[in-house]
Structure formats: structure tokens, C-alpha cells
Structure 1
């Protein structure tokens, strides 16, 4: 299966370099050179992943990210020269799945893209013998096949990573997960001790599913160990 990528990058030399490398790897790449063009392409076509620069003309990357997340859980990887922790947290908080700082190596970019797509493909497979399609956890209704979550009948807008984290816990209700195990399961990559990524996603998920994120009931913190699903 040939995976289709929307590459949103205004630097044409970087766009050409990434496109050429990914085409050699068997991907189909559609380039966009500003945010408005990217919005039009996204509305017209379906993509397996979006590679997104933040500093774009006409419509910046963060605004594109917000618009996209209102309509889709398509995986999004930010690639930007703005590599500070604040920018990472902001990007991930708005719904990005991963972040790579410029300048980056093509080997690392390819590895991250393949890991994200592999993870997204894994979660798109359904087997009713392995797990039920809909789970009810207290006030939450989680549809594992349609990637939707409702709380008291109201739909919650979760990013793909937030949904996959929640799914990990609700399908393993008695298991404690360390940060390394969560990272390995969701990002399908080795964990190098970057707690910021896990913390940002966990905080944003709790803000959406918990009545009081400072006193979480659905996903409990076991200090010094990790996290587990609450008991109901």
C-alpha cells in the first residue's frame, strides 16, 4: 500500500529534498508551500500523514493545525526550526503527534514517519474477537472502531495520540504503565527520557476527559512508577 503524505513546507529546497527521499521510499507526496494551499489540499484529498512546518506564509502552521484538528485525527508531524520546549509543548498541545527540529536528518525523519504510520495502521485494524467495539467507563463511551469518545453524550475532541493513550489504558484496565512503556506503545519508538512529551499529552487528555484534571479519576498517577486506569 502506498501511503500519501501532505508536505507543508515553504522552503522549496527542503520540500524538494524531503519529497525526493520519500518518493524513493515508496511514499506519494503532495507538496504545499503555504498554509492556505495546504487547507485547500486537505479539504480536497485524503492523507495518511501530514508533515507540517510552523513558519508558513498566508496561514501559519499552528493555525493550520487547529483547523485540521477540528475535522480530522490524521497524524501530524511538526518539523520546525522553532525547537524550544515551549514551542514543542504548544505544538503537541494543539494536536500534533510528533515534533522534529530543523535541521534534521532524513534517516530520523523517515523513521519517525514510518513509526507514526505503522502505529496508525495498527489501530485502524479491527478484530472483534480481541476487544469489544464500544467500551463504557463510568461517564465515558469509547468507540474503538470509529475513534470517538463521548462523555455524558457529548463528543470530546481528542487528538489521535490522546485517543491512543486512552485506548491503551481502557483496554488494559489492570496494568500499570511507565512513561517508557507508554512512549513505546504509542510512538512505537525507544524512550530517551523526554518526559515533556508524555506530560503534555497526558495533561491535555485529562483536561478533556476529567471533571477536575488536578484530581484525575480516569487515569491515575502512581508517583515514581507511572499511570493506570482508575477503578470504577
Structure 2
């Protein structure tokens, strides 16, 4: 478990007819790094890992899709907010949120809040999964969901014991805070819901694995060995 600070990368150009969002975000105590184009954005994320990337395509006079795709390839688990001009396509798989300009700074802050951990907020990290211990937000490979209290306990329990098989009875007692073991189908349903929150394909889970009839475990990719 570690404390995270909110580093935001914003890709934005200069336009005489509108102001930059960087200044407003800095005044709100975010650590903001601004770059003027997609190439600089890719170079930055190769060495640093921001909590959030904002692609202000409206200020760049571009659709922003190529920039989002290039950044997504480098940091697939980092949320991206894309800002576009009114009338442009507002559906794009590589952006977690799309905002249509014009809008207020407060609206941008409201969209940023679910993705960014403020100073002092404890987070639990296991592989590509990050769990906000105060707000119950879970982030994994670009997906960001706020968990119910019971799903939060389930996610936290699995993350605290990565790779370890946890018996169904133990999970049930932990989630329902009881010594009585009830209908296990309730546990299975909660596992299914949690998979929908973090897995790319919940029917073929990459992280939350089942040992049939025994329990569940969190399967994380091995870190490459240093040469």
C-alpha cells in the first residue's frame, strides 16, 4: 500500500480564442505536466506514469484519436479524458471520458475526480490493479469503477493475497461478516460483478481465477526479470 500524488499529463495547444486548462488545474493543486503534441506525450509516458492523461484535441485542432491510441499503447491502464469540439465524433474506445467543448473548469474537475487520487488517499496496488481505500474506486487497464462496499471488501481481500487461493467459505465469512456459511451462489454472483468491473472479458477472466469447488485467487502477470 502506498500514497499517490495526482500527476496529470495534459496535451494541449495554444489558441487565442480560449484559455488553457493547465493553469486552472495547477491552481487546484494538481501536479500538471503540459506538452504541445502527441510525440512529446508518448516520450513523457515512457519515463513517467501519470494518474491521468487529458488530450485537449479542441485546442490542437485535431480529433485527438491518434494521440489517445499512441498513449494507450504505452500506458494501457491509465485513464484518458479526450476534449473535442462540438459536432465531432464523441465515441472512441481509447478514451475513458469524452468532454465536448465548451464547458467550465468545474465540470472538468468533476470528471477528473474519479480517476485521480489526492494526497493522503491510501491506495492498494497489485499488478495493474489500483484500489482507492477511501473512495472504493478500482482501476485496471483503463477501466475505472466505484465498487459497492461488499465488492470493495472482496477486491481488497484478493489484492492483499495475490496468487493465494482463498477458500469460498473464508471469502463468504469475510464479506458477510459472519461465522455462518450461507448460500455460496451469492458469493459467486459478487465475483461475477467484480470481474465485470476490472476484466476486459469477464467470461474469460485474466485476473480473478476460479479453482472449481474450492475458491478464488488473484492471478497477476509476472514481472520481467532484470538482466
Root-mean-square deviation (Å): 4.3
Q: Which stretches in structure 1 are left out of the alignment for 5+ residues?
A: 127-144, 149-157, 187-201, 211-216, 220-231
Q: 1:173 deviation in Å?
A: 3.7
Superposed CA deviations along residues 176-230 of structure 1, whole A, max 9, x for unmatched, are 999xxx9xxx7xxxxxxxxxxxxxxx9xx7xx537xxxxxx569xxxxxxxxxxx
Query: Does the residue aligned with 1:10 lie in a helix, a strand or coil?
Result: coil
Q: How does 1:66-215 map to 2 (within 5 A)?
A: 66-72=69-75, 73-82=77-86, 87-89=89-91, 91=92, 93-94=93-94, 96-118=95-117, 124-126=123-125, 145-147=126-128, 159-161=141-143, 173-175=188-190, 209=201
Q: How does 1:27-46 map to 2 (within 5 A)?
A: 27-46=30-49
Q: Which has the higher helix share?
A: 1
Q: Provide closer, same or farther for how the CA distance between residues 12 and 124 of structure 1 changes in structure 2, counting only shifts above 3 A.
A: farther
Q: Which stretches in structure 2 are left out of the alignment for 5+ residues?
A: 130-139, 156-186, 206-211, 213-227
Q: 1:42 deviation in Å?
A: 2.3
Q: 1:71 deviation in Å?
A: 2.4
Give, in whole Å, the separation in 2 of the partners of 1:19 and 1:164.
Answer: 27
Which structure has the greater CA radius of gyration?
Answer: 2
**Which structure carries more relative contact order (alpha carbon 8 Å, separation 6+)?**
2
Give, in whole Å, the separation in 1 of the partners of 2:103 and 2:61.
Answer: 25
Give, in whole Å, the separation in 1 of the partners of 2:5 and 2:16.
Answer: 24
1:141 maps to: none
Q: Which has the higher strand share?
A: 2
Q: Provide closer, same or farther for how the CA distance between residues 110 and 57 of structure 1 changes in structure 2, counting only shifts above 3 A.
A: closer
TM-score under structure 1 length normalisation: 0.51
1:152 maps to: none
Give, in whole Å, the separation in 2 of the partners of 1:75 and 1:116.
Answer: 7
Give, in whole Å, the separation in 2 of the partners of 1:218 and 1:66.
Answer: 24
Give, in whole Å, the separation in 2 of the partners of 1:100 and 1:122.
Answer: 26
Q: 1:164 deviation in Å?
A: 8.4
TM-score under structure 2 length normalisation: 0.52
Query: How many residues get paired?
Result: 156
1:18 maps to: 21
Q: Provide closer, same or farther for how the CA distance between residues 75 and 61 of structure 1 changes in structure 2, counting only shifts above 3 A.
A: same
Q: 1:114 deviation in Å?
A: 1.7
Give, in whole Å, the separation in 1 of the partners of 2:122 and 2:5.
Answer: 18
